Structure 1
Amino acid sequence: MKLEERQFISLDLGTSNVLAYVSKKGVVYNEPSIMAYDNLTNTLIALGYDAYEMVGKTNENTRMVVPIKDGIIADMEAAKDLLKNIFNKLKMMDIWKGSVVLLACPSGVTELERDALKLVAMDLGAEMVVVEEEVKLAAIGAGININLPKGNVVIDIGGGTTDVAILASGEVVASKSIKIAGTSFDEDIKKYIRSEYNVNIGSKSAENVKIQLGSLGKYNAERSMSVYGRDIVSGLPKEALVSAEEIRNVLINSFSKITDLFIELLETTPPELAGDIIKNGIILCGGGSMIRNVEKYFSDIFSIPCKVAKDPLLAVINGSKELEKQIFTKIENGFYGKNGQKLKQINKFM
């Protein structure tokens, strides 16, 4: 198949959501990463939003599966099943044959974990799979010209991991990743409500509390909300009334680990790039950047300007769209090997 005839597919396989982009068609899928299987027949019965609605409401014959955790394939067969069913549902399975696929991954993944990501796409018929770091794609998607010889910082707060990176001259200069992100925020809220009110709540309830009340600074019209769960002593249904201030304290405790990670990264940053960072500020991406006052939180701590990307949830996939032409140019120039590994640098590529 000629290079210009190949389809381009980019995938952001997140712990919380899967996003898929197809050349000339745009974003064709954006739904939760969860799947539901029938244990008796081992068949898939729901995925995406349909499966998400089943969380916490299934019987013993149903198991819920999240095939990608922290940007890593946790269940290879389920991951293949997920992509097959997504594209079958879209009636687009045929586009995989001979395609070029761009996959986003967290900064901390190993080569073995990258190969596992590639294998999933190759098994579906892709001819070449390129893996790029999420923070690089997010920076491009946020509108940063990463090719200039100046430093920019991106903090991508996803569902399973938070990635912090400094980018300059077209590449990631330094990066760090931590498994503190959206799902861990939910777990911290669950733990707090359990310890403070003796009430067990589900993950969906905790996520709803985060969305409705979550903040990193005081805001207008703060309120409290009722959450419902099971009393850990009696086992009976119980209601707990939680306030915005309580949830803020929980989230600030969680975010302190992200700020510690950022400080560690800054300690290894060359002085010239550090100066650029002070001028250019911090760009925030991912679902975690939608928590109220998150930009003020980071700005106050580091005395550095901070802003949230225009489309924080789509920053990674938007960045991959921007790279489409460049990736085909690199393929033509022999930058990539057969399996998508980088072989050589091309000057003035972007």
Structure 2
Amino acid sequence: MAKKPLFVSLDLGTAYTLIYVSKQGIVYNEPSIVAYKIKENKIVAVGEDAYKMIGKANKNLRIVRPMVDGVITDVKATQAQLNHIFAKLRIQQLLKGSVMLLACPSLITDLEKKALEKIAYSLGASKVYIEEEVKMAALGGGVNINSPSGQLIIDMGGGTTDVAVIASGDIVISKSIKIAGNVLNEEILKFVRSQRGMEIGIKTAETVKVKMGSLAKYPDERSMKIYGRDVVSGLPREVEISPQEIREVLKISIAKIIDLTVRVLEETPPELAGDIFRNGITLCGGTALIKGIDKYFGDTMQLPTKIGDQPLLAVINGTKKFEQNIYDQLREESFKQKSNKEF
């Protein structure tokens, strides 16, 4: 029996890049950020190290997000980022002849898929598979995707939110919207500027979202002091914001995700809609960690709602669980090729 090729899966998210290697587990989980020295066009930092430079980089540095709204905006930066990561992990040699699974958003075009495949092959892969993130998120979030019973999954990542109905191992219907964690950060930033007259950085906005973002009142609510630059005077200052203010900001964007969910349900076959009424909604992705979001969806949609297992890791955990499926597909392909030759 031929030796199994190494299985590697990647979740190239807008906010985070995650890499899983067979028998080693998740070997990389850091922000999708690359810092370049402009003059030499050379990478000086990737991931956490580059993230720390946001808003603090000097004029000689360029901070790049290779993925925006779930799709590759800079192919060269993505390739350089992955080369840098695999070199740092010292597993470049292991990638030769490997099988790679790439998770992608529902909105991705055939051209963008080809760009992903090209990057994977350049890293040494002998075979590349692409699966939708929402399907992998469902699997990683604890949903039995192979059941004939319909399941409604909402995967809220950094750049996009995917809403899908899954049954019998595949997606029946899915829709995507470019509203997710990054948009929530931007809305908080805009709110502080317009209502408090203070400029803050995107990292501060994200900290506010993570620490006090909620869609329902929670125990020990407290206001939070944040720091920035006064819009009028340009001088440093601080303001205090309350959880209630942030709730109202977040609800505007979350309402658009709920509207998308309603549109998906309107196009769902009646039998599967009946299953969803019983099975409810599963929320995955980093935005699923906002306090009270499951109750908010449940009350608004009048459907039981739960947060999937390890929502931040749902997609990469799903690819891990999908590993055997990939090996099964390879075995089938090999068998067909052998049969055709014999024929």
TM-score band w.r.t. shorter chain: over 0.9
Normalised TM-score (structure 2): 0.96
Displacement of 1:337 in angstroms is 11
Which residue of structure 2 aligns with residue 36 of structure 1? 35
Q: Does 1:253 align with 2:216?
A: no
Distance 1:337 1:103 in 2: 24
2:116 corresponds to which residue?
A: 117
**Contact 1:3–1:328 (Cα < 8 Å) also in 2:** no
User: What is the TM-score with the length of structure 1 in the denominator?
Assistant: 0.94
Instruction: Classify the secondary structure of the residue corresponding to 2:283.
Output: strand
Partner in structure 2 of residue 304 of structure 1: 303
> Where do residues 9-28 of structure 1 align in structure 2 (5 Å cutoff)?
9-28=8-27
SS at match of 2:312: coil
Cα 1:92–1:319 change in 2 (3 A) is same
Separation of aligned partners in 2, 1:222 and 1:3: 59
> Quick one: distance in 1 between partners of 2:160 and 2:270?
27
Q: How far 1:235 sits from its partner (Å)? A: 1.1
Q: Which runs of 5+ in 2 are unaligned?
A: 338-343
User: Which letter maps to 1:148?
Assistant: S
* Structure 1 partner of 2:331: 332
Q: Spell out, residue by residue over 1:94-122, the C-alpha distance to the aligned partner (whole angstroms, 9 max, x if none).
A: 12111100000011111111111111111
CA distance in 1, matches of 2:250, 2:35: 30
CA distance in 2, matches of 1:239, 1:254: 26
Measured against aligned partners, the alpha-carbon deviations of 1:47-83 in whole angstroms (never above 9, x if no partner) come to 1111111111111100101101122111111101111
Tell me by how many angstroms 1:3 deviates. Answer: 5.7
Q: Is the 8 A contact 2:140 2:309 kept in 1?
A: no
CA distance in 2, matches of 1:157, 1:42: 33
SS at match of 2:184: helix
The amino acid across from 1:181 in the alignment is: A
Describe the SS at the equivalent of 1:193. Answer: helix
How many angstroms apart in 1 are the aligned matches of 2:2 and 2:79?
A: 25
The one-character-per-residue Cα deviations of 1:263-317 (angstroms, maximum 9, x if unpaired) are: 0111101110001001001111100000000100000001111111121111111
SS of the residue 2:306 aligns to: strand
Distance 2:328 2:267 in 1: 33
The count of residues paired between Structure 1 and Structure 2 equals 337
- Judge conservation of contact 1:225–1:241 (CA < 8 Å) in 2: yes
- Equivalence map 1:153-232=2 (5 Å): 153-232=152-231
The whole-number CA distance in structure 2 between the counterparts of 1:220 and 1:181 is: 25
Q: Aligned partners of 2:48 and 2:175: how far apart in 1?
A: 31
- CA gap of 1:176–1:3, structure 2 versus 1, over 3 A, is farther
Instruction: State the distance in 2 between where 1:137 and 1:336 align.
Output: 26
Q: Determine the C-alpha separation between the residues in 1 that align with 2:197 and 2:141.
A: 42
Q: Is residue 72–residue 117 contact of structure 1 (8 Å, CA) maintained in 2?
A: no
Corresponding letter in the other structure for 1:153: L
- Residue in 2 that maps onto 1:241: 240
Aligned to 1:47: 46
% same residue: 53
Deviation of 1:4 (Å): 3.0
Greater helix share, structure number: 2
Q: Which residue of 1 aligns with 2:340?
A: none
CA distance in 1: counterparts of 2:76 and 2:195, whole angstroms: 40
Letter in 1 for 2:319: S
1:75 is aligned to 74
Amino acid at match of 1:26: G
